[in-house]
Structure 1
Amino acid sequence: MSLTSSALSADSARFSHTIPAGEPYLFEVKAGQTLRLLDLQGNQAIDTLFYSAANPRERYDPQRTLRRQNNAYLTTGSVLYSNLGQALLSIVADTCGRHDTLGGACAQESNTVRYAHDKRYMHSCRDNFLCACLHDGRLNKRDIGANINFFMNVPVTPEGGLTFEDGISAAGKYVELKAHKDVIVLISNCPQLNNPCNGWNPTPAQVLVWD
């Protein structure tokens, strides 16, 4: 883990928005701006995708990102690369210390496979992503790829499997990213109730942006 605090004050942010528990949010961050994702009450997973605003077909690529940094987790110093090999954003501060890149977004299908058939129609991150894309118009179903789960704790077992564990975040923990180009940020403030990623209780999260 690499814990790094920020010198930025919330009072000086040019933009701030609180995402209700379990809801999506889509917005833009300009090149040179700093984005903070804030876990307001603790143990909340924030599923996130990034796209180039100039060309949304260019998007966050987990394979390139993990291969270049030789680490399955993200923290201070991690650079998020696109499918075209370009740097989209870099993590410049992180008071949580580790963020998941492998667990993916909950969906109807995964709710059924992991939990039970009667969980199929529970609200999910994939539903959130699709709803936000529908309202924005620049993205669609084909643009939903593998996402980052900020604040989510998904350890890799010695056998190479994944487990969903209680979060390592807490109220007030945050991660900050500096944009290298204009990016679209697509968030699902995860509504999952069936594993510990949200402490069994989804809560609001906040985004802040500084010039």
Structure 2
Amino acid sequence: MNQENISLWEEPIPGGCHWSGILRRGITLRLADVSGNANAAVLFFNQEEKLERYNMADTLKAQHTFHLTRGHACYSDMGRIFCCITADTVGWHDTVCGLSDRTLIQQKYGITRYQEHRNQMYRNGLDGMLIELGKWGLGMRDIVANINFFSKVTANDAGELTFHRNHSKAGSYVDLSFEMDTLVVLSTAPHPLDTNTTYQPGTVHLAAFTTSSAAASECKQIAENLRGLHNTHRFYPPCGGAL
């Protein structure tokens, strides 16, 4: 019986909302942009020791890149790999622009309150992340530089950043294949540099399935990732086995 790519669960996360959960090693999480122009702000934490978390600087310098795509790995601040990007139909994911906050959303789109607008209120990325972090005993001090999946931002020679609207199309997806037992925290609020003048964050569909053996080798093409994977596998030695 083929035990690869077995579907485990699916869940849509509406635009502006938030989600968190544990992804075990050997599991792949697919993030899909349902209607186009979605943004999925994501942070990773070691499920066993949450002081270990995603490190943007180590992720970029280890792989000599400014953005993430297929074949790249997402590193922790302990030199271990949370997950590898094993499939990607988007081609570029922002790593440097962080989260939208309440002030930014109000300045761009106006003020809405739950009392009048209920679930149509305008949510921001920072508040969504904090709500999810609080469920796991974490808080503001645990907010670090995040990944913005589906969003593309480039820099010119002067260091000025440009947001590329219409970068992600409807049906686009990215697969994250986990090498560690990982707490994933996610917000689907707008990217902080989104140029849309109307508050229209897109839905992100999540689907978890077992990682195939072919996908598991995707990020081994970069030499530094081999060392990162070695560090990660040492964290999970087989029972009774040597490191």
TM range (shorter): 0.7 to 0.9
Matches within 5 A, 1:59-138: 59-111=53-105, 115=107, 123-134=123-134, 136-138=135-137
Whole-angstrom distance in 1 between the partners of 2:41 and 2:109: 23
Structure 1 stretch displaced more, 152-161 or 196-205 = 196-205
**Contact 1:43 1:198 survives alignment (8 Å):** no
- Flag the 1:139–1:165 CA change in 2: closer, same or farther, 3 A: same
Whole-angstrom distance in 2 between the partners of 1:141 and 1:203: 25
Structure 1 stretch displaced more, 119-128 or 177-186 = 119-128
State the AA in 1 paired with 2:142.
Answer: D
Q: Which has the higher helix share?
A: 2
Bigger radius of gyration, 1 or 2? 2
TM-superposed deviation, 1:64:
0.1
Whole-angstrom distance in 2 between the partners of 1:67 and 1:140: 27
Whole-angstrom distance in 1 between the partners of 2:140 and 2:150: 25
Aligned pairs, how many? Answer: 199
State the AA in 1 paired with 2:124.
Answer: S
Q: Secondary structure at the match of 2:165?
A: coil
TM-superposed deviation, 1:119:
6.3
Deviations 1:34-81 (A, max 9, x none): 110110111101111111101111111000000001110000010111
Q: CA RMSD in A?
A: 2.5
**Contact 1:44 1:199 survives alignment (8 Å):** no
Counterpart of 1:5 in structure 2 is: none
**Contact 2:39 2:202 survives alignment (8 Å):** no
Structure 1 stretch displaced more, 122-131 or 77-86 = 122-131
TM-superposed deviation, 1:203:
2.1
Instruction: Name structure 2 gaps, 5 residues minimum.
Output: 114-121, 211-243
Q: Secondary structure at the match of 2:19?
A: strand
Whole-angstrom distance in 1 between the partners of 2:17 and 2:57: 27
Instruction: Name structure 1 gaps, 5 residues minimum.
Output: 1-7
What is the percentage of aligned positions where both structures have the same residue? 31
Whole-angstrom distance in 2 between the partners of 1:165 and 1:47: 16
